[in-house]
Amino acid sequence: MSYNISEIVSNFCIEGNVAAIIPYGAGHINDTFHLKNTNPGLPGYLLQRINHHVFENVPALMKNVQLVTDHLKGKLTGIPGSSPDKEVLTIVSAKDKQCFFCDETGNYWRMYCFLKDTKSYDMVLTEQQAYEGGKAFGKFQLLLSDLDSGLLYETIPGFHNITMRLDRLNKAVLADPKNRIKDVLTELSFIIERADQMATIMNLGKEGKLPLRIIHNDTKFNNILLDMNDHEQCVIDLDTVMPGYVAYDFGDAIRTIINTAPEDEKDVTKIELNIPLFKAYVAGYFEYAGSFLSDTEVKSLSMGVLLIPYMQGVRFLTDYIEGDIYYKIHSTEHNLQRARAQFELLSKLEKNYDVLDQIVHNTAKKYIQITTEIK
Ligand code: ATP
Ligand code: MG
Ligand code: MG
C-alpha cells in the first residue's frame, strides 16, 4: 500500500522541512520511515504507521507510550549525567495536540524524534552486547517500578497468559481444521507433561507473591538502540508495554540470546545453549534490577527462561494446527519446525536448569539479601 507521506507529515508539529523520506529498520509490525531534515542542524524524525490489526485500540496504546516515556524522562532528569532526550523516545505531537494522527482511511500514525548515531542488532554476538542488553532492560524495569501498572491499558489482552494460550491450542486440537493432529502427537504430549509446571508464575501472581509491574513484553535485542561505542542508549518499541511479571521480559530476552541456532532451525542438533552470553546478560540485568526485585521475583526468573520458549512453541504449534493464519510461513511445515525448535531449546534449558539458576542466584546475592532459599 502506498501513502502520501508528505501529506501525513504535514499533520505533525515538526521543526524545519523534510528533505527525504526513507523506509527504515527491520521491524515486523509497524511501517517505519526515517525523515531527514533539510537543515542538517535540525533533528530528523521517525514516522510509523501503527499496525491497527495487531493493536486494536491505538489511542489507548499511545496513552501508554506517553505515560511511560513521561515517567522515564522525569526519573532520568533527576539522575546526574543522564540525557533524557537521548535515552527515552520523544513523541512529536500532531497539530491537534494528540500524540498520534489518524488519517481519513483509518490508519494511525505517530512520530518520534530520530535518535541519531545509534544502531540496533538483530542478534547478540558478543558478551559485551549481552551485558548491555541486560542493563537496558534492567534499567527500564527499575525506572518504571514506581509507576502504578494499573494505569496502563492491556494492548494485547492475555499476551503472556499461558492458560489462554493453552486453551486456544485445545480448541485448535478439537477442531483440527487441516487434519494435522496426527503429525503432532509427540509435541502435544510434550506440552501436556509440562502444562501444570508452566502455570507457576501466573499462580504466584494470583496468590499475590509476585507483583504485577510494568514490563516491556518484547525484549528482543533489536528493540534496544546502542550508541556508536556499543553502549545501551534507549529501549524502543513500546507498543506492548503492559502490566506483567518481570520473569516474562527476562525469559523473552534469554530465549533468543542463549540459542546458538535460529528460531526456526530445522536441524535441532544445532540447538545449543550459549551460557557465557546468559551470564553476561544476567550481570547487566542485576546492575539495575538488583535494587528492586523481591526474592520471589529473583526465583521466578529461571522459571521465565523455561516458560517463554514453551509458550512460543505452543503458539507456533497452534498456528500450524489452525492452518498458518498468524505467522508468515516459507514452507508448509514452517510453523511445526519452529515449534520443534522451541521445544528442543526448552529440553536443553531444562537439562541445564540448575546451572542457569545458580548463575542467577550467585549474581543476585551481590545485590539482594536473599531471605528464603532460592532453589
Ligand atoms: P518489531 O518487529 O520489533 O515489533 P516494529 O515494527 O514495532 O518492530 P520498531 O522496533 O518500533 O518497529 O522500529 C523499527 C526499527 O526502527 C528499530 O529496530 C530501530 O532500528 C529503528 N528505530 C525505532 N525508533 C527509532 C528512533 N526513535 N530513532 C532511531 N531509530 C529508531
Ligand atoms: Mg521492534
Ligand atoms: Mg514492535
Query: What pLDDT digit, counting tens, does each position of 279-314 carry?
Result: 999 999 999 999 999 999 999 999 999 999 999 999
CB neighbour list of residue 261: distance below 8 Å, 6 or more residues apart: 267, 270, 271, 272, 341
pLDDT reading at 357 higher than 70: yes
What ipTM, to 2 d.p.? 0.98
Cα 105 to ligand 2 centroid, rounded to whole Å: 25
CB neighbour list of residue 5: distance below 8 Å, 6 or more residues apart: 21, 33, 47
Cα 161 to ligand 2 centroid, rounded to whole Å: 21
Which residue, by CA, sits nearest to atom 22 of ligand 1?
A: 25
d(CA 375, CA 362): 12
Which residue, by CA, sits nearest to atom 23 of ligand 1?
A: 236
Q: pTM for the whole thing?
A: 0.95
- Average pLDDT of the segment spanning 119-125: 92
pLDDT reading at 192 higher than 90: yes
d(CA 219, CA 261): 18
Q: Which residues pair with 213 in a beta bridge?
A: 244
For the CA atoms of 134, 126, 251, 160, the dihedral, rounded to the nearest 10 degrees, stands at: 90
Identify the band that residue 374 occupies on the pLDDT scale cut at 50, 70 and 90.
very low
Identify the band that residue 238 occupies on the pLDDT scale cut at 50, 70 and 90.
very high
Residue 83, number of CB atoms within 10 A of its CB: 12
Identify the band that residue 375 occupies on the pLDDT scale cut at 50, 70 and 90.
very low
Residue 338, number of CB atoms within 10 A of its CB: 24
d(CA 65, CA 49): 15
CA 213 to chain centre: 15
- Largest interatomic CA distance in the chain: 63
Q: How confident is the model at residue 1, as a pLDDT?
A: 61
Which residue, by CA, sits nearest to atom 14 of ligand 1?
A: 27
Residue range 5-116, CATH number = 3.30.200.20
d(CA 6, CA 3): 9
Q: Which residues pair with 273 in a beta bridge?
A: 259
Domain boundaries, the chain: 5-116, 127-365
Q: How confident is the model at residue 145, as a pLDDT?
A: 96
d(CA 234, CA 223): 9
pLDDT reading at 118 higher than 90: yes
d(CA 49, CA 222): 19
Q: How confident is the model at residue 2, as a pLDDT?
A: 74
Q: What is the mean pLDDT of the chain?
A: 95
d(CA 5, CA 35): 10
Cα 351 to ligand 2 centroid, rounded to whole Å: 31
Residue 343 grid cell: 521445544
d(CA 262, CA 273): 12
d(CA 18, CA 40): 11
For the stretch 90-105, pLDDT in tens is 999 999 999 999 999 9
For the stretch 50-88, pLDDT in tens is 999 999 999 999 999 999 999 999 999 988 999 999 999
d(CA 283, CA 181): 42
Which residue, by CA, sits nearest to atom 21 of ligand 1?
A: 25
3-state secondary structure of 331: coil
Atom index in ligand 1 nearest the CA of residue 238 equals 11
Question: What's 270's DSSP letter?
Answer: G
- Average pLDDT of the segment spanning 329-341: 96
Q: What element of type H or E holds 233?
A: strand 232-235
Q: What share of the chain in percent tops pLDDT 90?
A: 90
CB neighbour list of residue 347: distance below 8 Å, 6 or more residues apart: none
Confirm if 62 and 100 have CB atoms less than 8 A apart: yes
Which residue, by CA, sits nearest to atom 27 of ligand 1?
A: 114
Residue range 127-365, CATH number = 3.90.1200.10
At 285, the amino acid letter reads: Y
Polymer length of the chain: 375
Domain 5-116 matches domain 127-365 at the CATH topology level = no
Residues flanking ligand 1, CB < 6 Å: 24-30, 32, 46, 89, 112, 114-115, 118, 120, 218, 222-223, 236-237, 239
d(CA 34, CA 18): 10
For the CA of 25, the nearest ligand: 1
CB neighbour list of residue 269: distance below 8 Å, 6 or more residues apart: none
pLDDT reading at 372 higher than 70: no
* Residue 19 Cα distances to 9, 22, 40, 44, 372, angstroms: 12, 10, 10, 10, 60
* Residues less than 5 Å from ion ligand 3, measured at CB: 29, 237, 239
- Average pLDDT of the segment spanning 361-365: 96
Cα 138 to ligand 3 centroid, rounded to whole Å: 19
CB neighbour list of residue 336: distance below 8 Å, 6 or more residues apart: 183, 184, 187, 316, 317, 320
d(CA 121, CA 197): 33
For the stretch 129-182, pLDDT in tens is 999 999 999 999 999 999 999 999 999 999 999 999 999 999 999 999 999 999
